[in-house]
Structure 1
């Protein structure tokens, strides 16, 4: 017998949370809890890991929803659907770095919730099929000192390291952007970072590694490579500037 999909609701407006819980139960999902604060949700996840996290961005308490997601993702890969009222561009860009599966704007209809969850489940199943089909093994790159061999369509292709502009995290995958093409790897950005030549590449954000020789511009909170603005973490900016002095 199949177990119902487990969903955790992290929402500090209890009337909204109770309404969501009722809707999810009627749709056949198992609500593992309704929790108003991010710090409490992190404890709950350790004890009863859900399949999907419905997470309000503007939580009251010591941490907001985005910060809670960032902490959670250090240990768990749980798909996130954000609930939001009036999210400004800054919060939206910050939320995007946690690679959510969907955003739902409050107030929302039952159908909005249903579609967001079904889309998330579809994406999860697609990821699992990729792994089961052997793509995970086939696509793993061979990283040498001057190039990376990656799976592209039905063959392994050679990508010169000097041509790689930057890499971006996409949940359990990462995407390599070269001067002419992009390649999807079933490898986390952390694992890729450990294998790349440290004299050329630097992780400047939790979701981005850049080839520092291709940086065209450095601003307060981002760098520009080939007209693409890439976020730059404050804590890593000094290391980037120091590295640029040595090349």
Structure 2
């Protein structure tokens, strides 16, 4: 594994969490944290975004695992693997709505954990390849002052800058969300940030670049674009307010 996948463990039984962490380290994964509450998990991913969340369904506190997943998915697209001791049909049906990549029943063996994570990574890679084949920027694509040319099937499609809502990092790629479609771009978010016209766009978070003209609402920790709340770091919020005033 050339690059360690980062995994967050959300488990309120700390002995179980510590045991999972040990197993993940032995398997070659990086554990970004072990947190016992959904609220803490949401705070954690704003500082360190994992590649995968191992999420106990029956968390104690104000948010159970499913509610935590729902809140997380408002701002992030992190694959979920649920951990559960016993889930009735009602909980299972609620959990399905969050589109998890897998379920692991407690108690589980190290091999169960290993295979479920490997299958999740395989699904993630397959999803990226599928999108890359259908909608991506080729190596000779280019960005103009008022538009981006995106490869779609066998042709290049012009996407107007004004129609772009925001851009989200997806490992070594980034996804452009326009007012009508999504496009997967074979560029890192850092590379995209360097190429985009600065007067229109601002990187507000390690995972997001926003189109300043598309902002509907500015809050203390996020902005609203379309129907999605996108996180803004404290430092970038100050820059955002300066840029908005200058428009």
TM-score, normalised on structure 2? 0.63
Q: 2:26 maps to what in 1?
A: 33
Q: SS of the counterpart of 2:209? A: strand
Cα distance in 1, alignment partners of residues 224 and 8 from structure 2? 36
Q: 1:155 maps to what in 2?
A: 155
- Count of aligned positions: 211
- Please point out which of 72, 75, 81 is paired with 1:103: 81
1:5-154 correspondence to structure 2 within 5 Å: 13-14=14-15, 17-18=18-19, 32-33=25-26, 50=28, 52-53=29-30, 57-58=34-35, 67=44, 79-84=51-56, 86=59, 88=63, 93=71, 100-107=78-85, 108-109=104-105, 110=108, 113=113, 116-123=116-123, 125-126=125-126, 138=138, 141-154=141-154
Q: Could you list the per-position Cα deviations for residues 53-84 of structure 1 after superposition, in whole angstroms to 9, with x for gaps in the alignment?
A: 4665417xxx989759955x7xxxx8434344
Say whether 1:195 aligns with 2:188.
Answer: no
Q: SS of the counterpart of 2:35? A: coil
Q: 1:38 maps to what in 2?
A: none
Q: Determine if contact 2:6/2:52 at 8 Å carries over to the other structure.
A: no
Q: Determine if contact 1:164/1:179 at 8 Å carries over to the other structure.
A: yes
Listed as ranges, the gaps of 5+ residues in structure 2 are 86-103
Query: How far 1:13 sits from its partner (Å)?
Result: 3.8
Q: 1:173 maps to what in 2?
A: 173
Query: How far 1:190 sits from its partner (Å)?
Result: 1.5
Cα distance in 2, alignment partners of residues 168 and 8 from structure 1? 18
Query: How far 1:176 sits from its partner (Å)?
Result: 0.9
Q: Determine if contact 1:222/1:230 at 8 Å carries over to the other structure.
A: yes
Query: How far 1:208 sits from its partner (Å)?
Result: 1.5
Query: How far 1:198 sits from its partner (Å)?
Result: 0.6
Query: How far 1:185 sits from its partner (Å)?
Result: 0.8
Q: In structure 2, do the counterparts of structure 1 residues 20 and 70 end up closer, same or farther at CA, with 3 Å as the change threshold?
A: closer
Please provide the CA RMSD for this pair: 4.4
Q: Could you list the per-position Cα deviations for residues 129-176 of structure 1 after superposition, in whole angstroms to 9, with x for gaps in the alignment?
A: 67998x987366411112111112232111111221211122222111
